[in-house]
Structure 1
Amino acid sequence: MKTLSILLGPMRVPFLLLPPVCVVLGAATAFYGEQAFHLKWFLIALIGGLCAHISVNALNEYEDFKSRLDYRTTRTPFSGGSGTLPDHPGKAHWAAAIGVVTLALTLLVGLYFLRMWGPGLLLIGIPGILAIVLYTRWLTHDPLLCLLAPGIGFGPCMVMGVDFALTGTYTVAAVAASLTPFFLVSNLLLINQFPDIEPDAGVGRRHLMIVYGKRAGVIVYGVFLLGAYLSVVIAWLAGWFPATALAVLITAPLAAHTAAGVAKHHNSGIEALLPYMKKNVVITLVTPALLSAGISAGRFFLE
C-alpha cells in the first residue's frame, strides 16, 4: 500500500476527473456536428487525455521537488503539491519515470490518430505536448504563458483533439466548446496560485500575480469566468450550439458567488479562500459536463 501511494501521489489522482470531462465534451461536439461516435476511438482518446494529465502532474511534482518548492508551500487540497516526494525523497525518480512513461503513451495515442487522419492533428498535438514538457520549468516563468497554457491544454488541445480524433476534421462547434474549459481551467490554476505566491516567487516563477499583484489575479479570474459563459451564449446566438447548450448557465450563480468571494478574501489568507477554491473546482467540472449534455441533447432535437 505504501508503494502504491508513492506511485499514485505524483499522479494527483483526485484531479484526474478533469480529462474525462473534457474528452466527453469533444465527443459531444463530434456527435452534434457529424453524428460521429466510435467507442474504440473514444476510449483511446480518453487514455491519451488521462496520460497527458498524469504526465504533466508527475513532471510538475518532480520539478517542484528538485527546486525545493514543495518544502516552502503550505499544502491544501488544491495547491502546494501532494507532499509525496518530500515525505519520500528517495523515490523522486519514480515521479520522473511516471511522467516520461505517460508522456510516451500520450505520444503513441497521438501517432495512432495521426496515422488515421493525417497531419491535421499536429495543429493541436504539438502545442499540447509542448505544454506538458515545458510547463513547470519554462512556462511558469512567463505571466501570460503560465496563465494560458493550462486552459489551452484542456480546452483547444483536448476538446478539439478528441473531436478531430472522432471526425477527422475540426468543427466550429468544437472550437467554440473548447473555450469553456479554456477559461475555467486557466482559472483553476490561477486561483490555486493564491496561497503559493511567495514560495513560487522564491524559486524564480513569474506568474501573473507575482508580476502584477493579487488584484490583477482577481480581475482576470472574474473576466475568465465571464468568458466561460459568454462564449456559450455567443455560440448559441451564432447558431453553432443548440439552445440546450445554455444549460451551462445553471452554474452561473455559483460562479458569481465564487468570484465575489475571491474578490473579498484574496488578501485574507488560505483558510478564507479554501471554500471558494472548492467551489471553483465544482464550477470547472460541472460546467463543461453540462455543456456536453446540452450539446448532445441538441442532436436529438435535430433528428
Structure 2
Amino acid sequence: MESLKNISTDTLTAPTGDDENLVLQALLRSSRFSFVLLAPICVLLGLGTAWGTIASVNIGMLLLLFLVSVLAHMSVNLLNEYLDFQSGLDLHTQRTPFSGGTGFLPEKPQAARYVLWHALATLLATCLIGCYLVWQVGIWLLPLGIVGVFLVLAYTSVLNRFAFLCWAAPGLGFGGVMVLGAHYVLTSQFNSSVFCASLVVFFLVNNLLLLNQFPDIAADRQAGRRHLLVRYGVKSGVYAYGLGTLVVPVIVVAAVINAVWPVWALTALIPWAFSLFSLLTAWRYGERLAEHTPAMAANVVATLLVPSVLTAVLVLA
C-alpha cells in the first residue's frame, strides 16, 4: 500500500487518442486472462456444494458471482503488475509462462498509469457488485467481502513481507472468499460440503502461488519480499508444498468416508496426481524450477481440474 501513496498526478491524467491501443494492451496483458479462469471455477465449486440444498439456481446471482470473481482476480493481477514494476522487481525476474510477471510494463513503461487505472476500476466495480450482493443476501456476507478487498489491496505491498501470511493469502482469497461466498449467496447458509471444498481450494491455490515463487527467489529477496522461500529457504518451501499436496486427498477421502461427498468425489484425485510430479521436480531442482516448466504446468492443471471434477461430481450425484 505504501507504493500507492507515491502515485503522481501524471499517473491519473487522461489518455490521448494515440494511447488508446496502449490502454487496451494494458488491460489484456497485465490482467493475465489465462490465469483468471481459476475465479469462475471457484464460483462453480460453490454452486456444486449448494446444488443439493437449493430448489433452483438464481441465474442472475450466478452471473454476478462470475463477474465479481473475475473482476477481483483481474484487480489483484493488475495491482501486482503495477507495484512490481514500480519497485523494480519486474526488471530482475526470470520469466516463465507461470511466473515472473508478464513483462509488459518493462517493455511499455509509459503504460504504467493505465495498468493502475484498470486495477482501481476493477476493484471499484468489485466493491459495488459486492455491496449489491450484501444488500440482496444479508450482512453475513460482508465479512467475506471485506477480507477479499483487503487481500487485493495488501497482497503485493504488505503480505509479501510476512512468510505465512503470504503463503495463506491466495488460498484464503479463492477458497475462503470465492467458494464460501458463492455458496452463501446461493443458499444463505453454510454446510460441511462447502467447508471441505474451500479447504481443498485453499491448499491447491496456496501451492499454485508457492511453486510459482521458486524461480523468483533471488529477485524477490532483492526487492525486500519475505515470503516463505526467502525467509526459510527452498527446502522449507518444498516441505510446505508437499504438505499442501498431501492434505488435499486426506480432505477428499474424509469427506467421502463421512458421507459429505459421494464416492465419485474420489475421481478428483486423478488430476491431483499432477501435483506429485510438481512436488518431485521441486524437490530435485529447487530454484532451477524455471528450467522445468512442465512441472509448473502440472501444478496449474491440478489446481484447475481438481475443483472442476468435484463440481461435476457434486452436480451430477
Distance 1:60 1:175 in 2: 29
Farther-moved stretch of structure 1 (235-244 vs 75-84) = 235-244
Distance 1:269 1:32 in 2: 42
1:44 aligns with 64
2:36 aligns with 16
Distance 2:118 2:23 in 1: 13
Counting only pairs closer than 5 Å after superposition, residues 166-177 of structure 1 correspond to structure 2 as 166-177=186-197
Distance 1:132 1:3, change over 3 A: closer
Farther-moved stretch of structure 1 (249-258 vs 96-105) = 249-258
Q: Could you list the per-position Cα deviations for residues 253-281 of structure 1 after superposition, in whole angstroms to 9, with x for gaps in the alignment? A: 32222211221121445213x11001101
2:294 aligns with 275
Distance 2:53 2:228 in 1: 37
Farther-moved stretch of structure 1 (285-294 vs 256-265) = 256-265
Distance 1:131 1:3, change over 3 A: closer
* Equivalent pair of 1:30/1:37 in contact (CA under 8 Å): no
Code of the aligned partner of 1:151: G
SS of corresponding position for 2:215: helix
Give the Å deviation of 1:4: 2.8
Q: Give yes or no for the alignment of 1:164 onto 2:184.
A: yes
* Equivalent pair of 2:215/2:288 in contact (CA under 8 Å): no
- Of residues 136, 139, 144 in structure 2, which corresponds to 1:119? 139
* Equivalent pair of 2:217/2:287 in contact (CA under 8 Å): no
1:210 aligns with 230
SS of corresponding position for 1:75: coil
Q: Give yes or no for the alignment of 1:291 onto 2:310.
A: yes
Q: Which runs of 5+ in 1 are unaligned?
A: 299-303
Give the Å deviation of 1:34: 3.1
Distance 2:140 2:114 in 1: 34
Q: Could you list the per-position Cα deviations for residues 223-262 of structure 1 after superposition, in whole angstroms to 9, with x for gaps in the alignment? A: 1011122112112222221222222111243222221122
Distance 1:124 1:153 in 2: 9
Q: Could you list the per-position Cα deviations for residues 23-53 of structure 1 after superposition, in whole angstroms to 9, with x for gaps in the alignment? A: 1001111112334421111000000000000
Distance 1:172 1:143 in 2: 29
Distance 1:71 1:185 in 2: 26
SS of corresponding position for 1:247: helix
Counting only pairs closer than 5 Å after superposition, residues 73-92 of structure 1 correspond to structure 2 as 73-92=93-112
Distance 2:35 2:25 in 1: 15
TM-score (normalised: structure 2): 0.90
Give the Å deviation of 1:57: 0.2
* Equivalent pair of 1:62/1:92 in contact (CA under 8 Å): yes
* Equivalent pair of 2:274/2:301 in contact (CA under 8 Å): no
* Equivalent pair of 2:45/2:311 in contact (CA under 8 Å): yes
Counting only pairs closer than 5 Å after superposition, residues 91-110 of structure 1 correspond to structure 2 as 91-110=111-130
1:301 aligns with none
Distance 2:27 2:269 in 1: 38
* Equivalent pair of 1:163/1:171 in contact (CA under 8 Å): no
Distance 1:168 1:267 in 2: 45
Identity of matched residues, %: 40
- Of residues 244, 254, 264 in structure 2, which corresponds to 1:224? 244
Distance 2:291 2:257 in 1: 41
Q: Could you list the per-position Cα deviations for residues 167-188 of structure 1 after superposition, in whole angstroms to 9, with x for gaps in the alignment? A: 1122221111111111111101
Distance 1:277 1:45 in 2: 28
2:211 aligns with 191
Distance 1:158 1:252 in 2: 21
Distance 1:258 1:200 in 2: 21
Q: Give yes or no for the alignment of 1:71 onto 2:70.
A: no
SS of corresponding position for 2:250: helix
Give the Å deviation of 1:159: 0.3
Q: How many residues align?
A: 297
* Equivalent pair of 2:48/2:311 in contact (CA under 8 Å): yes
Give the Å deviation of 1:123: 2.9
Give the Å deviation of 1:157: 0.5
- Of residues 44, 48, 55 in structure 2, which corresponds to 1:28? 48
* Equivalent pair of 2:22/2:111 in contact (CA under 8 Å): no
